[in-house]
A and B are shown apart, each in its own frame.
Chain A
Amino acid sequence: MIVAERKPIEEILPWLEGVRSVLVLGCNECVTVCEAGGKKEVGLLASALRMVFAQQGREVNVGERTLERQCDPEYLDELRDSIDAYDAVVSLACGVGIQFTAERYPSKAVYPGVNTCFMGAALERGVWAERCQGCGQCLLALTGAVCPVARCAKRLFNGPCGGSTAGKCEIGPDVECAWQRIIDRLKALGRLADYETLIPVKDWSKDRAGGPRKVVREDVRS
């Protein structure tokens, strides 16, 4: 899933100076699962905003809504009848949903209510960790299904650097060394000898380095 974190309200408030109505807009997908931008968080932020506006003596209409997905025009269209009632939208979707909402409603100010962090998964309740950077050319077959692009601080393709200590990365004791994991996996698979195969220079043109990316599937295109 796409993992996000809630922005502090102090960062959001200056954007809402002078607005008379604001819609807090959640998303029922990834940000709900990672507890940053689902219905519950929409309610929390909306209540907090109402309190601040009341303290400021401002009359601001704070609306709440959570769409099935903000990254899908079909669901965004559900706002068409109600969005004109608001001066601004604070979207708690990931960066994709925030932009898609703004694209769908070009005259509406849309602000981010979360920081979109990474593609990852929950290690346990309340702990999420990065697993993929969407580099566009998956190498997991070579590395025992542990990604050095997303999980090595130096995205090294050919082994741990000299800073790997007791399974931890040189950048800190809380960070696992991806290459320790890769070696452990290769060993478990009886493929440790594969470590010595040099992974060639990567084609980063399929990564963000190549510019904004698009996937076009003619066979499913309508």
Chain B
Amino acid sequence: MNAKTPSRLEKILRAGHLAVTSECGPPRGSDIGHLAAKAEAIRRHVDAINVTDNQTSVCRLCSLAACIRLKLMGLEPVLQMVVRDRNRIALQSDILGAASFDIHNILCLSGDHQRFGDHAQGQNVFDLDSMQLLQTVRRMRDEGRFLGGDPIERPPAMFVGAAANPFADPFEIRVPRLAKKIAAGAEFIQTQCIYNVERFERWMQGVRDRGLHEKAFILAGVTPLKSAGMARYMKNKVPGMDVPEEVVKRMAGVPKDRQAEEGIAICIETLQRLKEVPGVAGFHIMAIEWEERVPEIVERAGLAPRPAVA
């Protein structure tokens, strides 16, 4: 398959390499130096870097500005865009803004509800949903038109992605939901973090049964656990997250000062198991405020060096 955009991530995936992406969260202020340093630390170990968009509804420096910074550093950003905070005018406007800096990847998301964040009394927008945003970006790119129908001069050339959560309910529509996102225009998928590999494998079986892995690139998501407390929190408090009891037990079974190492070890083992799952096209490593460990995870999982593409 020929690449449809200048995206490096797209080229790597279409060349048949297992891709590796990671992500950085922007700061809660206007000093972007820390984010630049986090991104610099993983430069040679990942193919692209997602920049989150006010994740968990906590107000932060905008994803677009942070993506521009990464782009100016010669990195490959993935612009995360949630439909919670902006209507169709603002969404399309920001897509053009990103395109003007040749940002070539976008991840279309709903966004966590604002009640999780620091502005729980705010209004939410949800003018479009994440699938309709996928359709919108594809229309802008492929037809060169705004949602309203008017033509766009120099349309955005973006590789279009979506998220999938194999662990949310109802389980029976998790594969149909992926099919729907692909029908809406998703070309790559980044999944929720995987701790329950068996359940993920069951989902992938359903994905393969419908040939969906041939229609979009599935990047399996992982997040290294820092502590037994984090494992318990993810298990009990994060909606749509599936952390099996044996993972919590394994983390709790080692002394506190070695739990971080255990978390890294679990993450690497998970990646190695996921490499064997047919239809997985790559990995999305979400090391939350722990980006400095990403190079080691990539190396120990046998995913280094990263391929060069023209």
Which of B111, B129, B136, B164 lies in contact with A158, CB distance below 8 A? B129
Q: Is B112 in contact with A163, judged by CB distance below 8 angstroms?
A: yes
Q: Is B129 in contact with A156, judged by CB distance below 8 angstroms?
A: yes
Which of A170, A195, A200 lies in contact with B132, CB distance below 8 A? A200
Is B44 in contact with chain A by the CB < 8 A criterion? Answer: no
In the complex, identify which listed stretch (B22-30, B175-183, B288-296) lies at the interface while the others stay far away: B175-183
Q: Is B173 in contact with A183, judged by CB distance below 8 angstroms?
A: yes
Is B115 in contact with chain A by the CB < 8 A criterion? Answer: yes
Please provide the chain B residues from 153 to 196 with a CB less than 8 Å away from any CB of chain A in the complex: 163-165, 168-170, 172-173, 176-177, 179-180, 183-184, 192
With known contacts A154-B129, A156-B126, A160-B169, A198–B183 Cβ distance under 8 A: yes
By a CB distance below 8 angstroms, the chain B residues around A198 are: 131, 135, 180, 183-184
Please provide the chain B residues from 100 to 139 with a CB less than 8 Å away from any CB of chain A in the complex: 110-113, 115-116, 124, 126-132, 135-136
Output the nearest chain B residue to A197 by Cβ-Cβ distance: B180
User: Which among B88, B116, B129, B136 has the greatest number of chain A C-beta atoms within 10 A?
Assistant: B129
Interface 1/0 per residue, A156-170 and B, CB below 8 Å? 111111111111001
Q: Is B84 in contact with A154, judged by CB distance below 8 angstroms?
A: yes
By a CB distance below 8 angstroms, the chain B residues around A158 are: 129-132, 180, 184
Q: Is B113 in contact with A153, judged by CB distance below 8 angstroms?
A: yes
With known contacts A163-B239, A165-B239, A154–B126 Cβ distance under 8 A: yes
- Give CA–CA (A204, B173) in the complex, Å: 27
Is B244 in contact with chain A by the CB < 8 A criterion? Answer: no
Q: Is A177 in contact with B169, judged by CB distance below 8 angstroms?
A: yes
Is B147 in contact with chain A by the CB < 8 A criterion? Answer: yes
Q: Is B112 in contact with A195, judged by CB distance below 8 angstroms?
A: no
Q: Is A163 in contact with B113, judged by CB distance below 8 angstroms?
A: yes
Q: Is B126 in contact with A155, judged by CB distance below 8 angstroms?
A: yes
Q: Is A195 in contact with B176, judged by CB distance below 8 angstroms?
A: yes
A61 to chain B, nearest CB (A): 39
- Give CA–CA (A171, B186) in the complex, Å: 27
Chain B interface size band reads: 35 or more
Is A196 in contact with chain B by the CB < 8 A criterion? Answer: yes
- Give CA–CA (A159, B163) in the complex, Å: 13
Is A201 in contact with chain B by the CB < 8 A criterion? Answer: yes
By a CB distance below 8 angstroms, the chain A residues around B135 are: 198, 201
Is A28 in contact with chain B by the CB < 8 A criterion? Answer: no
Chain A interface size band reads: 20 to 34
Interface 1/0 per residue, A101-138 and B, CB below 8 Å? 00000000000000000000000000000000000000
Please provide the chain A residues from 158 to 203 with a CB less than 8 Å away from any CB of chain B in the complex: 158-167, 170-172, 177, 180, 183-184, 192, 195-196, 198, 200-202
By a CB distance below 8 angstroms, the chain A residues around B115 are: 171-172
Interface 1/0 per residue, A191-222 and B, CB below 8 Å? 01001101011101000000000000000000
Q: What DSSP secondary structure best describes chain A's contact surface?
A: loop
Q: Is B129 in contact with A157, judged by CB distance below 8 angstroms?
A: yes
- Give CA–CA (A161, B240) in the complex, Å: 9
Q: Is A163 in contact with B240, judged by CB distance below 8 angstroms?
A: yes
Q: Is B136 in contact with A170, judged by CB distance below 8 angstroms?
A: no
With known contacts A164-B240, A165-B239, A204-B127, A154–B173 Cβ distance under 8 A: no
Q: Is A160 in contact with B168, judged by CB distance below 8 angstroms?
A: yes
- Give CA–CA (A160, B164) in the complex, Å: 11
Q: Is B176 in contact with A154, judged by CB distance below 8 angstroms?
A: no
- Give CA–CA (A95, B204) in the complex, Å: 51
With known contacts A171-B115, A201-B135, A162–B126 Cβ distance under 8 A: no
Q: Is B113 in contact with A170, judged by CB distance below 8 angstroms?
A: yes
By a CB distance below 8 angstroms, the chain B residues around A162 are: 110, 163-165, 168, 192, 239-240
B10 to chain A, nearest CB (A): 23
With known contacts A153-B113, A204-B127, A196–B180 Cβ distance under 8 A: yes
By a CB distance below 8 angstroms, the chain B residues around A157 are: 129, 131-132
B112 to chain A, nearest CB (A): 7
- Give CA–CA (A184, B173) in the complex, Å: 11
Q: Is A196 in contact with B88, judged by CB distance below 8 angstroms?
A: no
Q: Is A196 in contact with B147, judged by CB distance below 8 angstroms?
A: no
Interface 1/0 per residue, B132-151 and A, CB below 8 Å? 10011000000000010000
* Interface, chain A (partner B; CB < 8 A): 153-167, 170-172, 177, 180, 183-184, 192, 195-196, 198, 200-202, 204
Q: Beyond the given A154-B113, A198-B180, could you list 4 further A-B residue pairs with CB under 8 A, ordered by the A residue number?
A: A154-B124, A162-B192, A164-B240, A192-B176
In the assembled complex, 13 residue pairs joining A and B whose CB atoms fall closer than 8 Å, in A order, are A153-B113, A154-B124, A160-B168, A162-B164, A163-B113, A170-B112, A170-B239, A196-B180, A196-B183, A201-B132, A201-B136, A201-B147, A204-B127
